[in-house]
């Protein structure tokens, strides 16, 4: 009986070692995939900034049934001679906002399967100076064309004139008074160089206008 128990325990030890080995291989593959994907984003992010940027990645493998943790810290240079600084460090508000948009665009550029996707950004270009705002809008327009994605960006009225220089269609929601339950009828300007694109959306955008 004792010999049988020892044999059974030895078999279990062998199975456990094999399982641990398989688990390590799977974790290696997961870690490699994560680092490879984020590495592409990091590579795309650097050229978008004035002085360079990167993603610092720390994988924390689970012990037992714990969740897998992947810590990603965006870092960027704020001056030509400066060192990489984590995004959490206090900085000029406009710089931080521009960097956040650049990070989003880097993720889009790094993805090889973006055609037909939609990117939605809130408060586009708001609280930015003229130069930063136009630089951001230009970058968004270029990435949208290069990667064949549709970008919807909400913005304040003050940004519309600049947005019109870089985007082919503007949709203007007007909220006249606080007592109005809904916005006024949406106004749309289509001025895309690809005229067919404006024509394709015109009928859909005008649907329901006759019921006002």
Residue of 68, 78, 67, 71 lying closest to 55 (CA atoms): 71
36-51 tens-digit pLDDT: 999 999 999 999 998 9
State the pLDDT confidence band at 103, using cuts at 50, 70 and 90.
very high
Alpha carbons 169 and 199: distance in angstroms, whole number = 11
Position 212 scores a pLDDT of 45
For residue 210, pLDDT beyond 60 = no
Of 191 and 156, which is predicted with more confidence?
A: 156
CB burial readout 118-130, b (16+ within 10 A) else e: ebebeebbeebee
Of 78 and 190, which is predicted with more confidence?
A: 78
Position 54 scores a pLDDT of 96
Position 211 scores a pLDDT of 46
3-state secondary structure of 55: strand
DSSP H/E element including 153: strand 150-153
Alpha carbons 155 and 79: distance in angstroms, whole number = 29
**Token pair belonging to 153:** 């960006």
> What is the per-residue DSSP string for 103-131?
HHHHHHHH-S--TT-EEEESSTTTT--HH
Q: At what angle do helices 2-48 and 93-110 cross, to 10 degrees?
A: 120
111-166 tens-digit pLDDT: 989 999 999 998 888 888 889 999 999 999 999 999 999 999 988 888 888 988 88
60-94 tens-digit pLDDT: 888 877 888 999 999 999 889 989 999 888 888 88
State the pLDDT confidence band at 10, using cuts at 50, 70 and 90.
low
Residue of 35, 138, 45, 145 lying closest to 100 (CA atoms): 45
Of 32 and 25, which is predicted with more confidence?
A: 32
For residue 195, pLDDT beyond 80 = no
Report the 10 Å Cβ neighbour count for 80. Answer: 8
For residue 209, pLDDT beyond 80 = no
Give me the mean pLDDT over the 53-63 stretch.
91
Alpha helices in the chain (DSSP H): 2-48, 93-110, 130-147, 157-163, 195-206
Of 142 and 27, which is predicted with more confidence?
A: 142
Contacts with 125 (C-beta within 8 Å, 6 or more apart), sequence order:
133, 136, 137, 153, 155, 159, 162, 163
Alpha carbons 53 and 134: distance in angstroms, whole number = 21
């Amino acid at each position: 009986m004792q010999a049988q128990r020892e044999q059974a325990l030895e078999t279990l030890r062998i199975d456990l070692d094999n399982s641990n080995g398989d688990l390590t291989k799977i974790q290696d593959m997961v870690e490699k995939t994560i680092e490879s994907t984020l590495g592409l984003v990091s590579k795309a992010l650097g050229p978008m900034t004035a002085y360079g940027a990167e993603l610092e990645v720390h994988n924390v493998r689970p012990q037992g049934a714990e969740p897998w943790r992947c810590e990603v810290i965006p870092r960027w240079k704020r001056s030509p001679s400066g060192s990489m600084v984590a995004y959490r460090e206090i900085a000029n508000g406009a710089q931080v906002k521009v960097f956040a948009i650049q990070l989003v665009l880097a993720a889009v550029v790094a993805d090889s399967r973006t055609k037909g996707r939609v990117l939605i950004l809130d408060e586009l270009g708001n609280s930015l100076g003229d130069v930063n705002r136009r630089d951001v809008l230009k970058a968004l327009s270029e990435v949208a064309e290069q990667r064949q994605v549709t970008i919807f960006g909400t913005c304040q009225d003050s940004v519309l004139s600049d947005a019109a220089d870089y985007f082919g269609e503007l949709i203007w929601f007007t909220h006249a008074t606080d007592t109005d339950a809904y916005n006024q009828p949406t106004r749309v300007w289509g001025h895309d160089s690809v005229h067919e694109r404006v024509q394709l959306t015109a009928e859909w955008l005008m649907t329901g206008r006759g019921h006002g």
